[in-house]
Every structure is written in C-alpha cells, then in structure tokens.
Amino acid sequence: MTPTTALSWFARHELRLAWREGLAMLTGGRRRRTRAAVIGIVAFAAFLHLPAWAVIGRFAELRAPLDQPSLIIMTATIFLTWALILSQAIESVTRVFYARADLDLIMSSPTRLAEIFSVRIVAIALSVTAMALLFAIPFVDVLVFTGGARWLATFGVVVAAGLSAAAIAIAITITLFRLIGPARTRLAAQILAAVIGAGFVIALQIAAILSYGTLSRFAILTSDSVTALAPDAASMLWWPARAAIGDIATLLPLLSASLLLLGGVMAIFSARFADTAITASAYTVARPRGSRARAFRRGSRQQALRRKEFILLGRDPWLISQTLMQLFYLVPPALLLWRSFADNTAALVLVTPVIVMAAGQLAGGLAWLTISGEDAADLVASAPLSPSQVIRAKIEVVLITIGVIFAPLLAALATAGAWQAVITACGVIAAAGSATSIQLWFRVQASRRHFRRRQTSSRLATFAEAFCSIGWAATAVLALTIPVAALICGLITSAIFAATWKLSPRRE
C-alpha cells in the first residue's frame, strides 16, 4: 500500500467511525433503529424550519450594503453560532483523546504517525463541520426560500466556521494538556466547552440586564453605545456577515483563512496529537490518586448506599461541569432577581421557569446516573436489601442533591417574594419528581461512562422528561401571571406524565 493509499484508507476508516459513532448516538447502538432514526432526523429537520422561520425569517430581505445595526446583529449571531460549534468541537476532540480505543493498534502499525493524526484532525474538522451544516440547513433554507439563492453563501460561512472552530478546539485542547496535564484537561475542556457554548449569550444577557433591565440580548446589540463602538463598514469584522448575504469576495478569503488555520494546526499539532492521545490513554489506564485513610462509618444499609452515591456524584467530572453549567445558566436570572428586588419590576417572574427547568434537567441526569448508571449492579442486587430499598435510597440521593442546589436560590427568591418562592418550589418539586420518576420507569442497566448516550436508550423517556420540565416551568410561571392558564397547563403536563407512565416498561 502506498503512503497516499494508506492515508486515504485511514481517512475512510475515520469517517466511517465518525458516522457510526454519530449513528449510535441517535439509535442507542441498535442497528434496527437506523431507519427510524433517519426518519426522525428528517422529521425533526422539517420541524426545525418553523422555529427557524420565526427566528431568522425577518432577516431574509437584508441586502448589501448592510446598515450598522444589521451588521452588528448578524455578526453577533454568526459569532454565537461559531462559539457553539467551537464548544461542540472541543467536546469532540476530548472524546477522541479519551475514548478511542484504537491507539495501541495505530501506534503499533508501521505507518507514519504524524500523517495518520493529520488525517484524524481532518476527520474531526469534517465531522464538526458536517454537524454544523446539518443544523444550519433549516435556517439557510428559510433564508433561501424567502430571500433568494444568494443566501446559499451562508453554507460557505458555516463551513469556514466549522473548520476554524475545529482547528482552534484542537489547539486549545492540546495546549491545555501541556499546561495542566491530562487529569485536569478532561474536566477543564468540558467546562470550557460548556462556557464557550453559552458564555456569549449569557454575557450579552448580563450586559442587557445591567444596562436595560431585560434578558433580551438584542437590547444591548442595538444600543447606541455598541453602535458607537463598532468599526466602520469596511472593517474585516463584518466579513462573515457580508459573506453570509452572498458577497463572494469576502466568502472566499474567509474559507481560505479557515483552511490555512486548519493546515497550520495540522502542521504544528499533528505530531503532538499522538503524544497527547497516548498520555490521555495512559491516564485512563493508571492514575494513582491519593485519599486519606479514615474510619469506616456507621449507618444503615441504605445510608451506605446513599454515601456511595454521593461520593460517586462528587467525583464525576462530567456531572460537575454540567451542574456548574446549570448554575451558570442561572446567573442572568439571578442578576435579574437582584435588580428586580431593587426595582420591583415584573421581569422577576422570568426567574421561576428558568429555575424549574434547570431542576428538571438536573434531576433527570442525576436520576439516570444513580438508578441506571449503577456500575456494580450485580453487587447491589446480591446484597441483602430489597429492590425497593435500593431504589428508595437512590431516589433520596437525587432529591437531596436537588434540594441542596436549589434551596439557596429559593431562599433568595423568598426574600423578593414569598408567593413566587412557594410556586417556584412547587415547580422544582414537580419537575424533579417527574424527571426522576421517568428515569425510574425507563431504567436500563448501563455504565456511568455512557452518560452522554443516556438519551438514546429511550426516545420516549427523553422527550417526556423534556416536555414535563417545560410543562412544569410553564405552569409555574403561569401560576404567577395567569392562574387559570396555569391550571390548564398543569393538567396537560400531568396528562403527559401519566401517559408516559402508561407507556413505560416498568409501571411502579
């Protein structure tokens, strides 16, 4: 096999792996579900055209030359998209470093590693770009149908964003490895990915709250102060926005620059990529970790179970990063709460659905980890406890954790308004209870390592959990504003919850 043939063969291998990993994420690893997954994706993409039209339809008639506010809003939107792609790319790179089990095979082969890992970098870039294109399709469709074929250039901007985001993600992750070592990089990269993904929006929201007392990011983007700070129309800062509306003269340099960036990263990092991946792999194989010797603690069997769950939850980097993110998302509403407490504005009610949603989502994740993600299921099953005692202890862990996280927020809310705090607390209990029950009814034995794929084990459970969280959040906010509507919304959510129970494999 010539070196070129070997590289193209490896590229095919990488793309096939990326495709199958993506498919496994969608189908839960069950090949029979492939057709259903494809139909589901197509249906979901078709459905996405509706929100896409609502969000972006009004921009379709924009034409060159763009005025300053339009340039600012479009550039900010493109930057937000790029940040999300970068977040996804960091996640992908971390996954390749830590999860691929083929390093021994690759390292023992007689191929040149720098070339092999160059291919792997390209494969990461392509998969990240493909994912970005997939999500961009409904939005670009809307723009093309309502604004003309010139909007097809937006695909070029997405490709440039995907390639540059992948290149920067690889550079960031490998640099993190060098700076803080593999042990901390995994957690740091996950937190960084989450912060980058949401940070821009949250920063805009914080600025809008502090300046205008609203959560709307457009308030700050269209403000006079931002317009005054913005550079003139000839600036390179506006190239992505101009390229998106069909300016080929700016699109081509953007694409070239992103390719050059990727090429540069490949040249600099492909050799280090091998070292980094091997270090990460070694890290997963052997990592001494000290722990202080202490006395065995007394307590009931259920206490032993709860203690173990708390230790494992506390040592789960993914969960910690997700919890931090949930709290991070609560920063803008908390800020709004602080301002509203001073100003007594009606915007304070927006805090309630955010807290309820966050509680539901977090409870769902925790419930999966404790109930389904039991790594020593045989050990627990062979212990002298009844299954109901085991389940009860695990549910208690979820509810205690939710209580510890959300009690301070509810206490803060109570200082602003006792009635809103009570309603929010009820919403948190309902959302957390629903999410935990759904995870209980749909539990399957799995490893904690598969937490990322938990949604694929049952689509019904995933959607039911999301709809219940949204439903209880809406019910809570309506209870504060339109109580009659809250009753209807609560009944609908209860019906969804009951239907989920009826359809679940374990009705308990």
Partner 1 sequence: MMPAAAALEVRGLTKRYDRPAVDALDLTVRAGEFYALVGPNGAGKTTTLRMVAGLLRPDAGSVSIFGIDALGKSAAAKQVTAWVSDEPMIYDKLTPLEYLEFVAGLWGIAPAVAKPEAHRLLLSLGLEPHLHERCEGFSKGMRQKVALAGALVHDPRLIILDEPLTGLDALSARHVKGLLGERVRNGDTIIMTTHILEVAERMADRIGVIASGRLVAEGTLGELRLQNGSADLSLEDLFIALVDIEVAAA
Is 292 a residue that touches partner 1 (CB under 8 A)? yes
For residues 85 to 124, the per-residue mask of contacts with partner 1, x marking binding by CB under 8 A and - elsewhere, is ----------------------------------------
**Residues in 435-474 that interact with partner 1 by CB under 8 A:** 448
In the list 228, 249, 295, 484, the residue contacting partner 1 (rule: CB under 8 A) is 295
**Beta-carbon count within 10 A of 275 CB:** 14
- Nearest CA to 490 out of 425, 430, 402 is that of 430
Q: How far is the CB of 326 from partner 1 (least distance, A)?
A: 21
Cα–Cα dist 176/220, whole Å: 33
In the list 32, 298, 502, 507, the residue contacting partner 1 (rule: CB under 8 A) is 298
Is 260 a residue that touches partner 1 (CB under 8 A)? no
Cα–Cα dist 473/429, whole Å: 11
Q: Of 116-124, 207-215, 358-366, 382-390, which segment contacts partner 1 by CB under 8 A?
A: 382-390
Q: How far is the CB of 273 from partner 1 (least distance, A)?
A: 23
In the list 1, 105, 384, 484, the residue contacting partner 1 (rule: CB under 8 A) is 384
Is 388 a residue that touches partner 1 (CB under 8 A)? no
Is 311 a residue that touches partner 1 (CB under 8 A)? yes
In the list 229, 285, 404, 484, the residue contacting partner 1 (rule: CB under 8 A) is 285
In the list 32, 289, 502, 507, the residue contacting partner 1 (rule: CB under 8 A) is 289
Q: Which is nearer to partner 1, 290 or 408 (CB)?
A: 290
Cα–Cα dist 483/495, whole Å: 18
Is 36 a residue that touches partner 1 (CB under 8 A)? no
Q: Which is nearer to partner 1, 262 or 366 (CB)?
A: 366
In the list 4, 101, 110, 297, the residue contacting partner 1 (rule: CB under 8 A) is 297
- Return the half-sphere exposure (C-beta side, CA atoms, 13 A cut-off) of residue 427: 34
**Residues in 315-334 that interact with partner 1 by CB under 8 A:** 315-316
The DSSP result for 258-287, as a single string, is HHHHHHHHHHHHHHHHHHHHHHHHHHHH--
Q: Of 229-237, 267-275, 293-301, 421-429, which segment contacts partner 1 by CB under 8 A?
A: 293-301
Cα–Cα dist 145/136, whole Å: 14
Q: Which is nearer to partner 1, 279 or 494 (CB)?
A: 279
Q: Which is nearer to partner 1, 61 or 375 (CB)?
A: 375
- Return the half-sphere exposure (C-beta side, CA atoms, 13 A cut-off) of residue 390: 17
CA dihedral 132, 138, 144, 150 (to 10 degrees): 0
What is the DSSP secondary structure assignment for residue 234, as one 8-state letter? T
Cα–Cα dist 350/213, whole Å: 12
With beta carbons less than 8 A apart as the criterion, state whether 211 and 335 touch.
Answer: no
Is 371 a residue that touches partner 1 (CB under 8 A)? no
Is 67 a residue that touches partner 1 (CB under 8 A)? no
In the list 46, 381, 407, 491, the residue contacting partner 1 (rule: CB under 8 A) is 381
- Nearest CA to 215 out of 330, 347, 339, 325 is that of 347
Q: Of 281-289, 342-350, 355-363, 426-434, which segment contacts partner 1 by CB under 8 A?
A: 281-289
b/e map 408-431, b = 16+ CB within 10 Å = ebbeebeebbeebbebbbbbbbbb
Q: How far is the CB of 314 from partner 1 (least distance, A)?
A: 9
Cα–Cα dist 278/104, whole Å: 9
Residues 6+ apart with CB under 8 A from 30: none
Q: Which is nearer to partner 1, 108 or 291 (CB)?
A: 291
Is 312 a residue that touches partner 1 (CB under 8 A)? yes
- Return the half-sphere exposure (C-beta side, CA atoms, 13 A cut-off) of residue 418: 0
The tokens describing 60, both together, are 């379709």
Binding site for partner 1 (CB under 8 A): 284-293, 295-301, 303-305, 307-308, 311-312, 315-316, 375-386, 448
